[in-house]
Structure 1
Amino acid sequence: MKGVSAIPAVAIIPSPLFLWRVKVILFLLWGLCCCKIGWDSVMRMSVDLRDLFLYEAFLYYNPLLLVALMIWLWGVNLWVFAQSSVNYAKVFDLSQTHLSHREIWRCATWLTLVVPTSMTAYLYLYSHGEVSLAASQPVLLYAILLMILLSPFDMFYLSSRFFFLRTMWRIALPLQAITFPDFFMADIFTSMSKVFSDLERSGCRMVHRQVATIAWFEADSICGSHSVAIPLVLVLPYLCRFFQCLRQYKDTKEKTCLLNALKYSTAVPVIFLSALKYHVFPDVWISFYRPLWLISSVVNSLYSFYWDIKRDWDLSILTRIFMFKNPSAWSNLLYGRSWVFYWVLGSNLILRCTWTYKLSAHLRHNYLTVFAITALEMVRRFQWVFFRVENEWNKMTAKQNFELSSDMPPSESDRLLDSNSHKV
């Protein structure tokens, strides 16, 4: 009708909370479907073949699942820093376009979706006789992830991928002055040494076309469990960190850099003494090499524990952790509590000691236990990140305050009290 203004249509937009709940429900349904299909596929196999096949499938997919876990935990770290007074972007010298915790969680979500989906397809196709199609699943997954990581196109967070790859290059070849992101990421890589070892073994099987076969189980084959490449890859992150410390000593002449290098060097005998089990007689291993392995593992665990508490964290930091801008019930629960102090000390010591189990070459066949301990090591590193970054931020702010105070002009009272300004 004329004279009557039309009522504008109001678009009904679902609330963010509703959308989040829908995503969680879909995620859980997808997880249940993957578990159901995977379980039915495994049950179709014979009992003799089942354990060997699960061990191989686990080898291809467990490192990617652990990487996804580390990304999830890193997102939590960034979320906590965003709520607190710690300016992590300045600590890591990040640009304004750095990834937020939400974007980190988005990457972790996609990885958490893709990896179990590929694993479910692998189990299903193999159990139904499609061996060649099953073998293509992990190969295709690794190829896609590698192409995304190395893609030069402005997609999938190009600047962040470039920063990550550049830091990895600086870790591998410490030819320039070492920055905080360099040795921080190198420390995280030491906790992921088992992940790198499994990635190497997976890549070896893909290159030699041993996927979806049991040929890889031959211990003396090029990709077998006795391969020399396994301890070499395990020790690589520690060697990179060792050379970083030497480079820092060259630049700064600080003796603590040499003590830190000594800490990383203690990991070398743990790894190689363990690997000798497959290359010496059993009696020689039990009577001579195993006691040396135990002694070296205890030395490394205790030395690393001391360095975490005394050097990386600075015990005094435990009285002021998580200084939130907007305190909540959770932050008030943590702030200044003595139980946080005991939890940090106790959990870090226990998980440092379990490091020996997850990293030892002669224990790699207990893959479920090693997977659990590796995941716990990442939780320990996740906890370590809070105190290490806050400690670095406190050092930076203390240095800035000192420089500001030294640059300030003297006050009127200081000039009057200065004897050099008076003539007698």
Structure 2
Amino acid sequence: MKGASVPAVVGMPSPLFLWRFKAILFLLWGLCCCKIGWDSVMRMSADLRDLFLYEVFLYYNPLFLVALMIWLWGVNLWVFAQSSVNYVKVFDLAQTHLSHREIWRCATWLTLIVPTSMTAYLYLYSHGEVSLAASQPVLLYAILLIVLLSPFDMFYLSSRFYFLRTMLRIVLPLQAITFPDFFLADIFTSMSKVFSDLERSVCRMVNRQVATIAWFEADSICGSHSIAIPLVLVLPYLCRFFQCIRQYKDTKEKSCLLNALKYSTAVPVIFLSALKYHVFPDQWVSFYRPLWLISGVINSLYSFYWDIKRDWDLRCLSS
């Protein structure tokens, strides 16, 4: 009928448009966090600013590094998928495994909530709300732990269960070692400093030292002299060491013992370094520091050799 209006068909926005829109929002949010955080830091007194910046770095830097690792793991899965690599079979994943898009979704949430918590911490502390500021990292760590351990069918339950089960197999290598076991344990050795910072962060939260300088005192249980620091640092290497011993028990391959020896060379480096806070300065300079340097050189050279000759199989470089 002439003059009748035809309802317009509203098309759905394209995926590229949505991606650009989300990227712009993400950028604006990041700029807001940077602006609020910078202004908050500038409000602090100069004598305490460096100490509290170090404290903020300690609480939030490990989670930033975990988020970066998750982003890069998603990149790995994307490259595997583009190259037609059957990584599901290689990593012994369940059929409900996370795709690279789901991995990136997890990384996005972590990348959002960690800087938001950090910005809130800086803002609240700089405006005199010390107790509220101290609650920010505590709430963040509690929420992440609850999400990880939640038994409810939400936020990728099967994948979280797979991850926790693999972690248990790493800590207690009482069974045959699978590829996911030693692959994740190898990642953990690269993250030993992250675990150490997490331990110190949790220690200060448990002992109510957040947003204070109590940890800076010489007798603080969460200070640099804490025996828990070298214990946490060495734990991933010990896990890989016992995995190698278990592999030798199952396969009788001598290379497993040589690999175990490689991880054992990290132990004296860590504990000799920790002695710096438990011996007199003269003893450290004259005796323990040379031992620490020698053990560090041995560990570095052995690890480099093993990576070139064994893990990466770059024998062409030595020919």
TM-score range, shorter chain: over 0.9
- Residue deviations 1:11-32 (CA, integer Å, cap 9, x gap): 3111111111111111111111
> Displaced runs of 4+ in structure 1, greater than 3 A?
1-5
Is the Cα–Cα contact under 8 Å of residues 304 and 352 in structure 1 kept in the other structure? Answer: no
Specify the alignment match of 2:36 in structure 1: 37
Separation in 1 of the partners of 2:217 and 2:102?
A: 43
Q: CA, structure 1 residues 2+166, in 2 after alignment: closer, same or farther (shift >3 Å)?
A: same
- Residue 254 of structure 1: CA displacement? 0.9
- Residue 225 of structure 1: CA displacement? 1.3
Q: CA, structure 1 residues 253+154, in 2 after alignment: closer, same or farther (shift >3 Å)?
A: same
* Structure 2 unaligned regions, length at least 5: none
Q: CA, structure 1 residues 288+218, in 2 after alignment: closer, same or farther (shift >3 Å)?
A: same
Q: How many residue pairs align between the two structures? A: 318
Is the Cα–Cα contact under 8 Å of residues 309 and 315 in structure 2 kept in the other structure? Answer: no
Does 1:232 pair with 2:227?
A: no
User: 3-state SS of the aligned residue for 1:177?
Assistant: coil
Separation in 2 of the partners of 1:103 and 1:171?
A: 25
- Residue 232 of structure 1: CA displacement? 0.5
Is the Cα–Cα contact under 8 Å of residues 301 and 352 in structure 1 kept in the other structure? Answer: no
Is the Cα–Cα contact under 8 Å of residues 262 and 299 in structure 2 kept in the other structure? Answer: yes
- Residue 10 of structure 1: CA displacement? 2.2
Specify the alignment match of 2:315 in structure 1: 352
Is the Cα–Cα contact under 8 Å of residues 305 and 352 in structure 1 kept in the other structure? Answer: no
- Residue 309 of structure 1: CA displacement? 2.1
- Residue 294 of structure 1: CA displacement? 1.1
- Residue 224 of structure 1: CA displacement? 1.1
User: 3-state SS of the aligned residue for 1:79?
Assistant: helix
Separation in 2 of the partners of 1:118 and 1:4?
A: 55
Q: CA, structure 1 residues 352+67, in 2 after alignment: closer, same or farther (shift >3 Å)?
A: farther
> Which deviates further from its counterpart, 143-152 or 83-92?
83-92
- Residue 227 of structure 1: CA displacement? 0.4
- Residue 219 of structure 1: CA displacement? 3.0
User: 3-state SS of the aligned residue for 2:162?
Assistant: helix
- Residue deviations 1:178-223 (CA, integer Å, cap 9, x gap): 1000000000000000010011111111111111111111133111
Separation in 1 of the partners of 2:257 and 2:294?
A: 22
- Residue deviations 1:262-289 (CA, integer Å, cap 9, x gap): 0000000110111111111112111211
- Residue 86 of structure 1: CA displacement? 2.2
Is the Cα–Cα contact under 8 Å of residues 269 and 295 in structure 2 kept in the other structure? Answer: yes
- Residue 313 of structure 1: CA displacement? 2.2
> Which deviates further from its counterpart, 304-313 or 264-273?
304-313
Separation in 2 of the partners of 1:229 and 1:131?
A: 27
Q: CA, structure 1 residues 3+37, in 2 after alignment: closer, same or farther (shift >3 Å)?
A: closer
Separation in 1 of the partners of 2:304 and 2:38?
A: 41
- Residue deviations 1:285-338 (CA, integer Å, cap 9, x gap): 112111111111111111111212222222xxxxxxxxxxxxxxxxxxxxxxxx
Specify the alignment match of 1:297 in structure 2: 296
Separation in 2 of the partners of 1:352 and 1:151?
A: 47
| Larger RCO: 1 or 2 (CA < 8 Å, sep 6+) | 1
Separation in 1 of the partners of 2:25 and 2:69?
A: 23
Separation in 1 of the partners of 2:41 and 2:124?
A: 11
User: 3-state SS of the aligned residue for 2:286?
Assistant: helix
Separation in 2 of the partners of 1:251 and 1:56?
A: 46
Is the Cα–Cα contact under 8 Å of residues 216 and 224 in structure 1 kept in the other structure? Answer: yes
- Residue 236 of structure 1: CA displacement? 0.4
User: 3-state SS of the aligned residue for 1:96?
Assistant: coil
Separation in 1 of the partners of 2:256 and 2:170?
A: 16
Is the Cα–Cα contact under 8 Å of residues 170 and 181 in structure 2 kept in the other structure? Answer: yes
- Residue 9 of structure 1: CA displacement? 4.5
- Residue 151 of structure 1: CA displacement? 0.6
Q: CA, structure 1 residues 99+352, in 2 after alignment: closer, same or farther (shift >3 Å)?
A: farther
- Residue deviations 1:103-130 (CA, integer Å, cap 9, x gap): 1111111101100000000000000000
Separation in 2 of the partners of 1:8 and 1:297?
A: 74
Does 1:180 pair with 2:154?
A: no
- Residue deviations 1:337-364 (CA, integer Å, cap 9, x gap): xxxxxxxxxxxxxx999xxxxxxxxxxx
Separation in 2 of the partners of 1:279 and 1:3?
A: 91
User: 3-state SS of the aligned residue for 1:176?
Assistant: coil
- Residue deviations 1:80-104 (CA, integer Å, cap 9, x gap): 1111142111101112221111111
Is the Cα–Cα contact under 8 Å of residues 78 and 101 in structure 1 kept in the other structure? Answer: yes
Is the Cα–Cα contact under 8 Å of residues 220 and 227 in structure 1 kept in the other structure? Answer: no
Separation in 1 of the partners of 2:253 and 2:295?
A: 26
- Residue deviations 1:378-420 (CA, integer Å, cap 9, x gap): xxxxxxxxxxxxxxxxxxxxxxxxxxxxxxxxxxxxxxxxxxx
Q: CA, structure 1 residues 85+12, in 2 after alignment: closer, same or farther (shift >3 Å)?
A: closer
- Residue 3 of structure 1: CA displacement? 14
Separation in 2 of the partners of 1:207 and 1:302?
A: 39
Q: Which has the larger radius of gyration?
A: 1
Is the Cα–Cα contact under 8 Å of residues 266 and 300 in structure 1 kept in the other structure? Answer: yes
User: 3-state SS of the aligned residue for 2:58?
Assistant: helix
Specify the alignment match of 2:263 in structure 1: 264
Where does 1:102-181 land on structure 2 (aligned, <5 Å)?
102-181=101-180
Is the Cα–Cα contact under 8 Å of residues 187 and 241 in structure 1 kept in the other structure? Answer: yes
Separation in 1 of the partners of 2:159 and 2:299?
A: 34
Specify the alignment match of 1:94 in structure 2: 93
User: 3-state SS of the aligned residue for 2:271?
Assistant: helix
- Residue deviations 1:46-73 (CA, integer Å, cap 9, x gap): 1101011111111110100010011111
Specify the alignment match of 1:197 in structure 2: 196
